[in-house]
Structure 1
Amino acid sequence: MSDPTPRLIYRRPKQADLPTVFAIFSDPQTNQFNPAGPMTDIAQAEALLDRWLQHWTTHGYGWWAISSPQAPEKILGFAGIAAHDYLGKPVINLGYRFAVEAWGHGYATEAAQTALTHAFEHLGLAEVFGLVRPDHIASIRVLEKIGMQRFGDLDDVPGKAPSLVFRIQTHDA
């Protein structure tokens, strides 16, 4: 688990986070660039939370629930790294999703940078990928700000433009 930054607290998700997972992942605004669209029922959020918790059990890391020191009980969003399968192989994927009221404060950039630091310095991973829709300019900027570079495309959404694949490697990789 990561040390808290001055602005954000990171912790492993727990079952009690289910309503917040659903609130954030069912919001049409937070899913504007998600080809699957927003979640439509609590069972979808429960399945996602279960995958996160299983990932933590299996790998010892995963997505965090993120809050501020001023209101540690109020989750601003979720972010982290997790094993994922694309490009025809297993990769470590960076992801983040914040509540609309948390947008515009640099939280995604800060959380993404914290996830990379955790991946490289604490877990000893060699590379991390990020997958983003080509029209999601804000998310592309986050990936670029943290030093990720365009690596390729992934034709993952039938009938739509390919997603952009970003990658960053440790300096000694």
Structure 2
Amino acid sequence: MPNLHSRLIYRQPRQADVQRLFAIFGDPQTNLFNPAGPMPDLAAAQRLLAHWMEQWAFNGYGWWAIARREAPERIIGFGGIAPLNYLTTPRINLGYRFAVEAWGQGYATEVGRDALALAFVSLGLPEVFGLVRPDHAASIRVLEKIGMQPFGVLDDVPGQAPSLVLRVCHPTTARV
């Protein structure tokens, strides 16, 4: 599980998080690199939250609700690892989205490292992927910093440049 010395705390999302989820995912600034744009309404936030809760119930893990250790009641973002189809290929995907107030403080890197610890140490998963828009330099840097390497591209947004796919393998399987 996540590092006890972490500045962040993680928990399973719950129904009470829907307003905060909408505030973060509906903010145009947090969606600058999201081709779908901001989340349109609270109903969409409710659907996403329900999906995350189903993933937790089925898999025993999924995206976390993330807060600073000194303010555990204030969610600053959501992220972690969860199953995601890359078009038709199932992958374990690492992702995150933070409120603007949390940007530039290294939280994405911290969440990424903690999510990989969960994936490899606790769950024993063989590999984790990251999907990022090619012009999202900050997220590319975060994924590279936590050990992900270019794996390929995914033509997942019609009429736009393909997304970059990065991957990191379980440390023990990477040597095989």
TM-score by length of 1: 0.97
Identity among equivalent pairs (%): 65
Q: Which residue of 1 aligns with 2:51?
A: 51
Unaligned runs of 5+ in 2: none
Give structure 1 stretches of 5+ with no counterpart: none
8 Å CA contact retained: 1:4, 1:10:
no
Structure 1 match to 2:89 = 89
Distance 1:68 1:53 in 2: 22
RMSD (Å) for aligned C-alpha atoms: 1.1
Which residue pairs with 2:134 in the alignment? 134
Q: Which residue of 1 aligns with 2:112?
A: 112
Q: For 1:30, what is the secondary structure of its paired residue?
A: helix
In structure 2, C-alpha distance between the alignment counterparts of 1:6 and 1:127, rounded to whole Å: 23
Distance in 2 separating the partners of 1:87 and 1:35: 15
1:117 alignment partner AA: A
For 1:3 and 1:107, locate their aligned partners in 2 and report how far apart those are by CA, in whole Å: 13
Give, in angstroms, the shift of residue 4 of structure 1. 4.3
Give the aligned partner of residue 163 of structure 1: 163
**Counterparts of 1:15 and 1:5, CA distance in 2:** 28
Distance 1:23 1:4 in 2: 28
State the AA in 2 paired with 1:34: N
The corresponding residue for 2:16 is: 16
Kindly state the Cα deviation for residue 2 of structure 1 after the two structures are TM-superposed: 3.6
- Moved beyond 4 Å, runs of 4+: none
* Counterpart position of 1:63: 63
3-state SS in 2 of match to 1:29: helix
**Quick one: distance in 2 between partners of 1:170 and 1:10?**
22
Structure 2: distance between partners of 1:152 and 1:88: 15
CA displacement 1:80-137 (0-9 Å, x = unmatched): 1011111632110001000000000000000011000100000010000000000000
Tell me, in whole angstroms, the C-alpha distance in 2 between the residues paired with 1:5 and 1:108.
16
Equivalent residue pairs, number: 173
Per the normalisation by structure 2, the TM-score is 0.95
